[in-house]
Amino acid sequence: MNLEKRDGMIYCILKDAYLIETPEEKVRQEYINHLINNYGYKPEQMAQEVQVTTSHRGQGRASADIVVWKSEKDKIEGRNAFIVVECKAENIKIHSQDYYQGFNYATWAGASFFITTNQKETKYFNVDKKFLPQKLQEVIAIPSASEVENEKKIKELLNQTKAFTRDEFTKILFACHNIIRNNDKLSPEAAFDEISKILFMKIKYEREQKGNKVFTREQFIKDSEFHEKNIRPNLRNTNKDLPYMQFIFENTKEEFKEDQLFEDNEIIKIRQHSFEQILGKLESYNLSDTQDDIKGIAFEEFLGKTFRGELGQFFTPRTIVDFMTTILDPKEGEVICDPTCGSGGFLIKSFEYVREKIENDIQIVKDRFKKQLMTDNYDDLSEENQNEINKKVNEMFRILNKELETIEVNNTSSRLYNLSHNCIFGTDANSRMARTSKMNMIMHGDGHGGVHHHDGLLNVNGIFEERFDVILTNPPFGSRVDKGQKITNADKFVDKNLIKKYTSIYGDAYKQALNQVNDNIGKPLLGLFETGSMTGLTEILFMERCLKLLKKGGRMGIVLPEGVLNTSNLQKVREYFEGKAKIVLICSIPQDVFIAAGATVKPSLVFLKRFTEEEEKEYDNAVEKAIKQIKKDYQTELFELKEELANLLRDKANKSRQREIRNRFKEIDREIEEKAKPLIKKYFDYEIPITKVDSAGITSTGAECENELIEVAEEFYKYNKTAKLWEDATLDITYELTEEGNIIRKVGEKEQELTW
């Protein structure tokens, strides 16, 4: 049977009625259809929204989305259910508490199997109390209607436990990699590039199909035959004249043109046979629909193993990424950047970190509005009135669920759209890693639009001075920018359409940002940086770059070689940064942490906050006060030297002595500067937490181990609550449910009715 829809309603076969097509209802009816069409269950042995009687306080009105009995007779006689299904809207991430809640429903109903689904992801569980509360036992499948009385088969299915789907996806990615290695003899990195191209092509195709069709091997062959027969013979010297595999890649390049992921002359570099084999491997996944944490974690694992070696320096271990993000605690509405983003670890974690805050906030609002609509006398109302309230609750859920999609409708941007499109930015100078970062972000739920293949020291798109609230980065260590390296015309951003687009978004600030390159063609790159006169080390230049990218009062976390903090030849560099930012925390971590990624330098994690305007004044006052105090000790000598020099100049006498006096003035300036330094620290004094951990969650081989960083993060959270190292920048978003059932979103002083 097929789903019937009309005028925003969807037909419910179990109630023989049309219901409002909310996202949850759509998923529920599609899964009912799935059970009927693919498993052979009859509507007569099923029911939806079944009240589950429990002895648990506060769960009296609990209801199961779909209940299936072994037979219609079991249903009529009120016997135990066989399967209980918990449904969520397709854009709602299913959390562990959802599993346990539904599992409780299934347990109370006496079911054997429990299912969770949000269309993107479906999981099956064995309903056995021995697994609670420690762990839910996932199984590989549920029985069909013809197998419900086959006790041997039921027992077999209940005992066939299932690994997470992401493990399967990881294996498929490695299988694709091996196909290219074996068939096309490409290096691991080059083979990865080809898989990336195919993944981008698959995502483009499936987005266009809006989740209704997967890009399969069969579909490719069918479309290819049509292209070769009907299109290619009639069109010459155009993209359509290309073999179909190359033709769809050209279209994909055009789709992601703004992202500058592919060179204009880039082509697919594998045989069509390999291409078809890979599509066959991937066809069990619709990449537009697959749950983000499944494909994202699988892709990261694939990345880590593929690039462990030559490109290991582009990967920051997950334990370090998690810790640094937790310390800086990015908030909704804050703009986040990593100018050396590598595989995108910091950007992905920041995106997920803020997204979870948004999801939690929406859930709180849902619960509050549901309580507001479903009053205390709900159980005493007539079925008609209850249905009316249920419709309002479903409509309210539908509207709030849109806040969790990356959409913009009727001049209304969802909260996730704002996070994805306006708050995440990154660059990497390595084209392979920029492409990898984008794919990685897409796999984790998007936010990829602000990532560019570009030199992180130079401005591009929305990445320019004083733009960011939070910066997290692991810059390249140990290499140097040569004094002779010049800024050239090749560094200029010349795409007129994109310049027009970015100017419309960022205004005159963007035009000014372009002058960083445009006004310095032919000049040394080091000349753009104040520390460039002190050192050419890339980690120092990126540290200065990050501080300049921050807004005043903005905060950053950076991975640095420990030598930056203690070697004598970088003393002036340290003093430069001490005059620009407060050190929030220094955490020394074991050298082992980065060995698995190919690095041999002992690292530290350094957290800084750029001075606010008030702190700039405080620091300048401290400098002025210190210098003034030390200068008193030189007052007599300076007076005598000035008198002597004035006499010598007047009489035009003893030029050798004049030079000596001038040199002494310079010596005195240096002496005053040196002697003032401890006084500056005294007058501009603040606490600097310093800690050292012996275990950071990863060994030199990449294996897991104890992670002391978790405890450090907890301690820092408590400390920061008291110290208030930075202002709480949480975006003030509230919702109001009007008597008419409309939802008003308030962001500070601005109000907007959600109308999508």
For the cut 80, the answer to whether the pLDDT of residue 60 exceeds it is no
Q: Are 524 and 484 in contact (CB under 8 A)?
A: yes
Which one is predicted more confidently, 497 or 314?
497
The torsion of the CA quartet 257, 260, 265, 271, rounded to 10 degrees, works out to -90
Alpha-carbon distance of 421 to 349, in angstroms, equals 16
Per-residue pLDDT, averaged over 12-19, amounts to 91
CA 288 → CA 129, 199, 206, distances in Å? 35, 11, 6
For the cut 70, the answer to whether the pLDDT of residue 680 exceeds it is yes
- Nearest alpha carbon to residue 456 among 568, 331, 378, 548: 548
Look up tokens 């537009």; give the residue. 288
Instruction: For Cα atoms 136, 137, 140, give the angle at the middle one, nearest 5 degrees.
Output: 135
Alpha-carbon distance of 605 to 447, in angstroms, equals 25
Mean pLDDT, the chain, as a whole number?
Answer: 86
Give me the DSSP letters along 703-755: -EEEETHHHHHHHHHHHHHHH--S------EEEEE-TTS-EEEEETTEEEE--
The predicted pLDDT at position 84 comes to 92
Work out the burial of residue 430: count CB atoms within 10 Å of its CB; fewer than 13 is exposed, 13-18 middle, 19 or more buried.
middle
For the cut 70, the answer to whether the pLDDT of residue 307 exceeds it is no
For the cut 80, the answer to whether the pLDDT of residue 136 exceeds it is no
Highest mean pLDDT among 342-351, 365-374, 427-436, 611-620: 611-620
The predicted pLDDT at position 57 comes to 37
For the cut 70, the answer to whether the pLDDT of residue 95 exceeds it is no
Highest mean pLDDT among 49-58, 120-129, 136-145, 533-542: 533-542
The predicted pLDDT at position 288 comes to 64
Give the percent of the chain with pLDDT over 90.
47
**Phi and psi at residue 152, to the nearest 5°:** -65, -45
> pLDDT digits over 249-287, tens only?
998 888 877 766 788 888 999 999 999 999 988 876 667
The predicted pLDDT at position 437 comes to 85
Confidence of residue 225 (pLDDT cuts 50, 70, 90): confident
Confidence of residue 61 (pLDDT cuts 50, 70, 90): low
Q: Are 704 and 713 in contact (CB under 8 A)?
A: no
For the cut 70, the answer to whether the pLDDT of residue 58 exceeds it is no
Alpha-carbon distance of 746 to 753, in angstroms, equals 9
Alpha-carbon distance of 33 to 20, in angstroms, equals 17
The predicted pLDDT at position 552 comes to 96
Predicted TM-score (pTM) above 0.85: no
Q: Are 111 and 84 in contact (CB under 8 A)?
A: yes
Alpha-carbon distance of 644 to 638, in angstroms, equals 10
Highest mean pLDDT among 50-64, 142-156, 259-273, 685-699: 685-699
Per-residue pLDDT, averaged over 542-564, amounts to 96
| From 37-41, 155-159, 174-178, 507-511, the region with the lowest mean pLDDT | 155-159
Highest mean pLDDT among 37-41, 58-62, 437-441: 37-41
Alpha-carbon distance of 613 to 360, in angstroms, equals 34
Confidence of residue 164 (pLDDT cuts 50, 70, 90): very low
The predicted pLDDT at position 557 comes to 98
Residues 6+ apart with CB under 8 A from 238: none
* Backbone Cα Rg of the chain: 32
Q: Are 88 and 98 in contact (CB under 8 A)?
A: yes
> pLDDT digits over 486-518, tens only?
999 988 888 888 899 999 999 999 999 999 999
The predicted pLDDT at position 397 comes to 85
Look up tokens 């191209």; give the residue. 197
Alpha-carbon distance of 142 to 163, in angstroms, equals 15
Q: Are 753 and 743 in contact (CB under 8 A)?
A: yes
What is the length of the chain?
Answer: 756
Which one is predicted more confidently, 263 or 736?
736
Residues 6+ apart with CB under 8 A from 71: 45, 148
Which one is predicted more confidently, 573 or 439?
573
Q: Tell me how crowded residue 413 is: count the other CB atoms within 10 A of its CB.
A: 17
| SS3 of residue 615 by DSSP | helix
Look up tokens 């920061």; give the residue. 720
Q: What is the residue type of 158?
A: L
Confidence of residue 215 (pLDDT cuts 50, 70, 90): confident
Confidence of residue 679 (pLDDT cuts 50, 70, 90): very high
For the cut 70, the answer to whether the pLDDT of residue 314 exceeds it is no
The predicted pLDDT at position 741 comes to 84
Per-residue pLDDT, averaged over 462-466, amounts to 94
Instruction: Classify strands 138-139 and 63-68 as parallel, antiparallel or unpaired.
Output: unpaired
Give the percent of the chain with pLDDT over 70.
89
For the cut 60, the answer to whether the pLDDT of residue 120 exceeds it is yes
Q: Are 95 and 352 in contact (CB under 8 A)?
A: no
Give the chain's end-to-end CA distance (angstroms, integer).
Answer: 30
For the cut 50, the answer to whether the pLDDT of residue 553 exceeds it is yes
Alpha-carbon distance of 737 to 727, in angstroms, equals 30
Q: Which tokens is 622 given? A: 């401290």
| From 442-446, 476-480, 603-607, 662-666, the region with the lowest mean pLDDT | 442-446
